[in-house]
């Protein structure tokens, strides 16, 4: 993987425009997942990230923010930090609920409990850590450079 990334960087595959960091904060409520999806899509498109990668990022961000809303406290905020650096996308979602996120094996009839299982299955890595007044759940997606300067998700 590192050899491919190094070669892509040498031929100019990842551009300066595709690297950056943005942080968003919303009230912890039913609008937060949609707001987070739109913000992630807009910032990644602006950085030149490929559409398929944006779709994945939008899904994973939505799942983690939805969990924050569903399992979090009644009031507070959810903070989403989006970073692309050195061929890797990382999204951190911080909320006021200190409890550990769990991957649950949902049954076919369950209407929920799939969020973290989706994150675990689709992200290249994920985890969580305590944060001031709550926790941060993070996930990463390794990006592969292409000749046109856009980032595309590494195929498994």
**For 35-64, what is the mean pLDDT?**
93
Residue ranges of domains in the chain? 19-142
0.95 exceeded by pTM? no
3: number of Cβ within 10 Å: 7
What's residue 106's pLDDT? 59
- 19-142 carries CATH number 1.10.730.10: no
Give the per-residue pLDDT at 75.
80
Helices vs strands, H then E, count in the chain: 4, 6
pLDDT over 70, % of the chain: 69
Q: What is the pLDDT of residues 100-136, one digit of tens each?
A: 877 666 566 556 556 788 888 889 999 999 998 899 9
For 2-40, the pLDDT digits (tens) are 344 344 333 333 343 457 899 999 999 999 999 999 999
The answer to whether residue 65 scores a pLDDT higher than 70 is yes
How far apart are the C-alpha atoms of 44 and 39, rounded to whole Å? 8
* Pairing state between β 125-131 and 134-145: antiparallel
């Amino acid at each position: 993987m590192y050899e491919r990334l190094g070669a892509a960087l040498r031929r100019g595959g990842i551009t300066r425009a595709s690297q950056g960091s943005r942080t968003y904060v919303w009230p912890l409520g039913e609008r937060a997942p949609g707001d987070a999806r739109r913000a992630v899509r807009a910032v990644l498109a602006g950085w030149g990230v490929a559409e398929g990668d944006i779709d994945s990022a939008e899904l994973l961000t939505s799942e983690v923010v939805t969990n924050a809303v569903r399992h979090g406290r009644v009031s507070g905020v959810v903070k989403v930090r989006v970073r692309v650096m050195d061929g890797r996308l990382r999204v951190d979602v911080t909320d006021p609920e200190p409890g550990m996120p769990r991957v649950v094996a949902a049954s076919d009839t369950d209407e929920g409990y799939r969020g973290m299982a989706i994150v675990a299955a689709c992200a290249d890595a994920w985890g969580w850590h305590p944060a001031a007044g709550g926790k941060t759940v993070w996930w990463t997606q390794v990006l592969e450079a292409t000749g046109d300067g856009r980032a595309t998700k590494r195929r498994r």
